[in-house]
Structure 1
Amino acid sequence: MASKEIRYKEQTFKLSYELVNPAQQRVLLILHGWGSNKEIMKQAFGHTMPDLKHIYLDLPGFGKSSNEMVLTTKDYAAIVRLFLEALGVETAIAMGHSFGGKVATLLDTPCLVLLSSAGIVTVKPWSVKVKIATFKLLKPLGMKKIRELFVAPDAQGMSHEMYETFKNVVDEDFEAEFAKSKSRALCFWGKEDTATPLYTGEKIAGLIADSVFYPLDGDHYFFLTHKDFIAEAITEHCKDID
């Protein structure tokens, strides 16, 4: 494991990363989802695709990477670009799970791999709408317990900066960004995914001109049991792309 310091908007980010197959030339960047870190991605793919140099990165504010400012998805992509420049590498393939899929999309790599990517706004159940309305009504009272009761589990225990970042990205409509993508995209989805439902994957695949869609058994972390199939598909579809 290594770290790299990046300066962005007058802030210093210490980014933790790990290389697998460092002697290889073609680069595969792998980004985790919200609330996760590089370790789960390495657990899945660290022993696959030996012909590629893998870069596993903790995004700012997660794992062992620092963050002391409020960010947007575009900020995350800009920071990742600076990180790659600092390493002196050009990325042939960017893979992203959930929130990491949105960041990977913005990198405009020749090949894009989306694992149950976020970015399509879903219709909220009535119960969730009631909780949101109640939270907004009680928020001016300044009651700390309100946040504990109503904030999503993904946002609890966060610093102020990461909580505000979460609010920036959680319900972000990314349809236009997917539609603008020029990457060859492989879209893998869990059929039982409730965080980013299957229909959102079908929509994303329809928005990206050059895309293939793979519905697979499993939930939001389906890729842990389908890593070999995913690796084989990447090898087949991205082998002629640099």
Structure 2
Amino acid sequence: MALAQIDYNDTIFPISYVLHNLKIHNPRGVLVFLHGWGSNKELMKLAFEKSFEDYVHLYIDLPGFGASTNEQILHTCDYANIIKSFLSYIRTHLSGLDSQEFIMVGHSFGGKVATLLAKEQLILLSSAGIVTPKSLKVRAKILLAKLCKKLGIRASFLRSQDAHNLNEAMYQTFKNVVNEDFSQSFKQCRAQAHIFWGKDDSATPLSSGEKIASLLPHSRFFVLEGDHYFFLKQATHIQALYQGTAQQGV
């Protein structure tokens, strides 16, 4: 594991990362893995380190997760700008990668960040970014939380599971990003997009994947067995499908 100090908006963000397959000869590119909300680089490494053997792998802890600490309130665009600066740092400090294509791979929240950064190729794994109707139970919790706030009552027990154990800055960040409609960002992305989805995903439903596929101008959509974390056991299958479509062009 390594740590880079990235200066963004007069704040230093420590970015923890791991590079894998650095010694391979003539890599086909650099896969940049961006995890979902509440996760970390180790999960992505566990899933993919034994696949995509012809690529260099770059596993990153996004600010506020894993070993990348954060005390600033951020939006998704801030995450994208921080990671963009980090990738420039990598190109500068590792001359062997300066001419390589960086292929963004994003799961859930990381999919939104990846979409903003992708240039030529994009791999989405059950990406967030489509706003779905909230259940009656969730709407009731939101109303109760707002009432408690007006009354000055701390009601942390009403927080979403994804917001548990967050510092105040990260909790405010969570509120900034959780209900973003990324439809326009998907429309504006010109990268060749390879979208993979777990058919039993309840966190980001299959209908969201179908919507994203319809919005991205150049995309292929693959439905695989499993839930929100379907990729944990299907990395080699994802590799085969990606390389097949990447060679043909989307």
TM-score bracket for the superposition, by shorter chain length: over 0.9
| More displaced 10-residue stretch of structure 1: 88-97 or 207-216 | 88-97
Letter of the 2:236 counterpart: D
Q: 1:94 to 1:178 in 2, by over 3 A?
A: same
**C-alpha separation between the residues in 2 aligned to 1:181 and 1:129?**
32
Match of 2:223 among 191, 195, 215: 215
Sort the Cα spacing of 1:240 and 1:213 in 2 relative to 1 into closer, same or farther, 3 A.
closer
2:70 to 63, 67, 70: 67
The Cα shift of 1:239 comes to 4.8
Match of 2:80 among 62, 77, 80: 77
TM-score normalised to structure 1 length: 0.95
Whole-Å Cα distance in 2 between the matches of residues 156 and 141 of structure 1? 22
Matched positions, count: 239
Cα deviation 1:100-125 (Å, max 9, x = unaligned): 00000000321100000000000011
Q: Does the Cα contact within 8 Å between 1:193 and 1:219 map onto a contact in 2?
A: yes
Distance 1:56 1:240, change over 3 A: farther
Provide the residue aligned with 2:109 in structure 1. 99
- The equivalences for 1:123-162 within 5 A come to 123-144=133-154, 146-148=155-157, 150-162=158-170
Q: Is residue 49–residue 235 contact of structure 1 (8 Å, CA) maintained in 2?
A: no
Matched with 1:12 is 12
Query: Which of 152, 172, 175 matches 1:167?
Result: 175
Question: Does residue 37 of structure 2 align to residue 27 of structure 1?
Answer: no
- Cα distance, 1:135–1:224 mapped onto 2, change above 3 Å: same
Specify the alignment match of 1:109 in structure 2.
119
The structure-2 alpha-carbon separation of the partners of 1:240 and 1:8, relative to structure 1 and needing over 3 Å to count, comes to farther
Q: Deviations over 1:199-240 (max 9, x none)?
A: 000000010011000111111001112111101122233358
Q: CA RMSD in A?
A: 1.4
% identical equivalent positions? 49
240 and 80 in structure 1: CA distance in 2 versus 1, 3 angstrom threshold: farther
1:190 counterpart residue number: 198
